[in-house]
Amino acid sequence: MTKQQSAQKRAKNPLNHLFNQPILLLVLTALFWGGNMVAGKMAVGNIAPTNLVAGRFLLGFLVILPFALPHFKKDWPAIREKVFFLAFAGGVGFAGFNLFLYLGAQYTTAVNGAIEQASIPMMVMLANFMFYGERTKALQIVGVIATIFGVLWVATAGAPLRLLTLDINMGDGLILIACVIYAAYSVLLRYRPKIHWMSFLATTFFFATLSAVLYELVSGGLPTMFVNFTKVTTTGWLLVLYTGLFPSIISQLFYARGVELIGANRASLFINALPLFGAILSVLILSEQLQNYHFVAALFIISGITMAEYAVRTKKGNKTDEQH
């Protein structure tokens, strides 16, 4: 077979074609991440949140480990030097975030949970401004306020004054805590060691699994862990399979490839589609109902994200012009 024939054969391979379609890859990434909230809601009565977190990241670790091993030799010095950060990233950023997300799903709708996750990019922007002095335009600040107001509108079912009496649904409160955790993890990624993304995932998935087991031991001990394990249904195991493969590994692979093809700035825009896909999937799969306050909140959130993104890209565009 000639080189030309070999190249033509690779071009016809559906996987090769997929991996050269950045928009499709990034849309699928947001879709799979959006499905994570639906999985958390479906887990109620089928698998305990701690079991789902532990099973998800154990599966992810076992699947990605063979692919990560070739990179470990080169990355080991950096991994050893930053082991405490990697333990935090896995134990808090991954396991902690998903544990609070799945716990919250027991008390609120998946639609609410999906929309509330729109606050994460805004929290990251606000934290970078407060703690790292990143320059922020007035339009960005307005966008942050609008987005967070929209999220609080959802969490209080359209009555934000309930916050004054701390009258907020427990599930929505737990999901907002999850959002704060993931925002903190995202901000601290600036301290991430410079290692291959597969080494990063394998190491953090290991710590996430370990942390999920520790969470369950602290909350109920070995007897509770054993009882929860025996109560996992077939649906529960399917949810472990979905969350362990799609949001954990495939989405990370697709996102990394998307960034490689079109750059981090353009690729990051697609993360904002996560709440949209999560809400749509909640309606289609769980038959949840959209309420009037969801549409009002969506208006604030979409407007806020649009303003913030426009301000960021205008600022970057001006810097580029200055450099030329």
Residue 51 reports pLDDT greater than 90: yes
Give the residue-averaged pLDDT of 285-311. 82
Q: Are 178 and 155 in contact (CB under 8 A)?
A: no
Higher pLDDT residue, 20 or 164?
20
Token digits of residue 221: 């001990």
Give the residue-averaged pLDDT of 33-37. 93
Residue 13 reports pLDDT greater than 70: no
For 46, list phi and psi in degrees, rounded to 5: -115, -30
Sign for the pseudo-dihedral over CA of 140, 145, 151, 153? negative
Residue 70 identity (one-letter amino acid): P
Tracing tokens 């700035």 back to the chain, one arrives at 265
Residue 319 reports pLDDT greater than 70: no
Q: Give the total residue count for the chain.
A: 324
Q: How far apart are CA 169 and CA 166, in angstroms?
A: 9
Residue 108 reports pLDDT greater than 70: yes
Backbone conformation region of residue 276, classed left if phi is above 0, alpha if psi is from -120 to 50, else beta: alpha
Residue 294 reports pLDDT greater than 60: yes
Give the residue-averaged pLDDT of 217-243. 89
Q: Provide the Cα torsion 158, 31, 27, 277; round to 10°.
A: -20
For position 321, what pLDDT does the model report? 43
For position 317, what pLDDT does the model report? 52
Average pLDDT in the chain: 84
Q: Are 258 and 25 in contact (CB under 8 A)?
A: yes
For position 149, what pLDDT does the model report? 82
Q: Where are the beta strands (DSSP E) in 130-174?
A: none
Helices (H), 82-165: 83-88, 97-104, 110-116, 119-132, 138-155
pLDDT band, residue 231 (cuts 50/70/90) = very high
For 287, list phi and psi in degrees, rounded to 5: 60, 30
Residue 224 reports pLDDT greater than 50: yes
For position 323, what pLDDT does the model report? 39
For position 229, what pLDDT does the model report? 85
Q: How far apart are CA 49 and CA 169, in angstroms?
A: 18
Give the residue-averaged pLDDT of 256-276. 76
Token digits of residue 18: 């997929």
Q: Are 112 and 172 in contact (CB under 8 A)?
A: yes
Helix (H) or strand (E) holding 304, with range, is: helix 292-323
Residue 320 reports pLDDT greater than 60: no
Q: How far is CA 155 from the centre of its chain?
A: 19
For position 265, what pLDDT does the model report? 61
Helix (H) or strand (E) holding 255, with range, is: helix 251-262
What lies within 8 Å, CB to CB, of 211 at 6+ separation is 90, 91, 92, 95, 96
Residue 322 reports pLDDT greater than 50: no
Q: Are 99 and 215 in contact (CB under 8 A)?
A: yes
Token digits of residue 66: 């063979």
Residue 167, classed as helix, strand or coil, is coil
